[in-house]
Amino acid sequence: MHVPVMLTECLEFLNLQPDGVYGDLTAGLGGHSGAIARRLAQLSGGGFVLACDRDAESIELARANTADCADRIRFHQALFSQVEETLAVEKTKQLDGLLADLGASKYQLTEGGRGFSLMESGPLDMRMSRSTQGPTAADLVNYESERDLAWLIFSLGGERRSRKIAGAIVRARPIHTTGQLAKLIEGVVPRTGKLHPATQTFMALRLAVNREMEELDALLDAIPRVVRKGGRAAILTFMSLEDRKVKHGFQAMAQAGKAKLLTRHVVKPTAQETHSNPPSRSAKLRAVELL
């Protein structure tokens, strides 16, 4: 079961209006999209949600999970960098609110065939959208130079043992499955806590394969154009690398007079939420109101 993170806080920051148009740019399994749509239905206006996701498989699951409010949701397969194209398709100039949850869904992380899982071996893929062209994690692991691979693992994963891991990967090539890679890393670096030793390397590869940092930059650049004055934008992050980027992006908007910070201090989930939904424990929420 998918549980949307900080749902109450997200809805409060979005300040939903009866006739508003809201963009959930990471529809995932439909948790936030469905909640926004149901609240709009209660408000009895003409408001609706543009539910976007780069992953076609997730969109189909989200459709099923939000069937009760389907008349309030319009689904689109789209990247952050395509938000303006999506609005043009819908003949909508601007959004009244925008939400992005940057965490990968449990479905993606645990389904072995997607290539993200540490626990269930599968092809070393890691593309959020398997219908798109572009390098897979296997391409990076098997063809990047040792130096570039070490830098990728360090800069995107924060893995201090990146040189040792990269060296072991190069010596063990070719590597075709997540199971092979996880076992290899576990064999060359010791477990220092609860996390599997390959966790940060897997995260770095996922970020690189999907160009997630570049897509986040594109979203932050687009927000002042796609959200109307008085509208809100809220972003949930789960990694310090992403949170810093969102923090600085929102601060830059405020300094340029384009937005007002609604979260001068980052918002974190309550103790009750982290207890009932442990994956939420690393979540951070920031929001702005456009001027």
CATH code of residue 219 = 3.40.50.150
Tell whether 116 is covered by a domain. Answer: no
Are residues 216 and 199 located together in one domain of the fold?
A: no
Residue 75 near residue 65 (C-beta atoms within 8 A): no
pLDDT in the model for residue 19: 97
Of 180, 209, 238, the one marking the end of a domain is: 209
Structural domain total, the chain? 2
Q: CB under 8 Å, gap of 24 or more: what pairs does 191-198 form?
A: 196/118, 198/118
Burial of 91 (0-12, 13-18, 19+ CB in 10 A): exposed
pLDDT in the model for residue 190: 85
- Could you tell me the maximum CA-CA distance found in the chain, to the nearest angstrom? 62
Tell whether 121 is covered by a domain. Answer: no
Tell whether 112 is covered by a domain. Answer: no
pLDDT in the model for residue 195: 85
State which amino acid sits at residue 185: I
Cis peptide before 174 (omega within 30 of 0): yes
Domain of residue 279 covers 7-107+212-290
pLDDT in the model for residue 192: 80
Q: In tens digits, what is the pLDDT along the chain, a chain of 291 residues?
A: 578 999 999 999 999 999 999 999 999 899 999 999 999 999 999 999 999 999 888 899 999 999 999 999 999 999 999 999 999 999 999 999 999 999 876 656 666 566 667 778 889 998 987 766 778 999 999 999 999 999 999 999 999 999 999 999 999 999 999 999 999 999 999 888 888 999 999 999 999 999 999 999 999 999 999 999 999 999 999 999 999 999 999 999 999 999 999 998 999 999 999 999 988 899 999 999 999
Please spell the DSSP secondary structure of the chain, one letter per residue.
----TTHHHHHHHHT--TT-EEEES--TTSHHHHHHHHHHHHHTSS-EEEEEES-HHHHHHHHHHTGGGGGGEEEEE--GGGHHHHHHHTT---EEEEEEE-SPPHHHHH-GGGT--SSS--BS---S-TTS-S--HHHHHHHS-HHHHHHHHHHHH--TTHHHHHHHHHHH----BHHHHHHHHHHHS---SSS-TTHHHHHHHHHHHTTHHHHHHHHHHHHHHHEEEEEEEEEEESSHHHHHHHHHHHHHHHHTTSEEES-SS-B---HHHHHH-GGGGG-EEEEEEE-
Are residues 176 and 257 located together in one domain of the fold?
A: no
Are residues 218 and 100 located together in one domain of the fold?
A: yes
pLDDT in the model for residue 178: 92
CATH of the domain at 145: 1.10.150.170
CA–CA dist 177, 186 (Å, integer): 14
CA–CA dist 139, 133 (Å, integer): 12
Tell whether 124 is covered by a domain. Answer: no
Burial of 256 (0-12, 13-18, 19+ CB in 10 A): exposed
Are residues 265 and 197 located together in one domain of the fold?
A: no
pLDDT in the model for residue 122: 87
